[in-house]
Amino acid sequence: MRKRSRIDWNTSHLIVTGGSSGIGEAVANEATTRGAKVSLIARDADRLEAVGSRIGAQWASADVTDFDAVQRAVEDLQSRSGTCTALVSCAGTALPGRFLDVDVAEFGSQMALNYLGAVHVLRAVLPAMVARGNGSVLLTSSTAGLIGVVGYSGYGPTKAAVHQLAHSLRYEMEPHGITVGVLYPPDTRTPGFDVENARKPPETAAVSGAITPVEPSVVAERR
């Protein structure tokens, strides 16, 4: 079994999904300050260009629910900045609501983005990491994926799936020198969190109201 090594930021090419805002943007910003080459993937091309220009990162617009689009984006970014040596998967959304009140299609859309979005980018970057014999990936789950939270019957199971994906994948990737981590961020002040708060049912708002949200930079510094 190969010995796993810590990230050498000065020689790393980090790809961040969901990199146009929130935790993904903060992670990308933190990585550039540590000397890494950073590439961003998200849907909003205008926002990506603005963030990429500000922090000095490459970017490619893609919807992570579309595997072919993700594959093309990763190939494009690797042609510009070299093979991906580290991945942070941050793309995701939360659409809270009572189980019988939300549109049934939202269960599928959250699973497609939160879980399959992670699967797609992993499938795009892992073959080269395996061939090289090292790499690091970090997936974003949630405490709602570990415990039941009222109002998150659509969101929580998607993050539980990410949790299980990370822990199952860890044992497959370890012999190849690849580390697999999973992040469980607390409530974080992001544009998505604002949208989430606007539709929380009273019970969910009461639960989360006792929690003081943190800034995305706080999560990025500790990832």
Report the catalytic residues: 141, 155, 159
Taking a C-beta distance cutoff of 8 angstroms, is the pair 182, 92 a contact?
A: no
Entry field: residues in the chain: 223
Residues 6+ apart with CB under 8 A from 118: 17, 64, 89, 91, 139, 140, 162, 165
CA 15 → CA 90, 105, 147, 160, distances in Å? 10, 30, 29, 23
Residue 165 CB neighbours (<10 A): 19
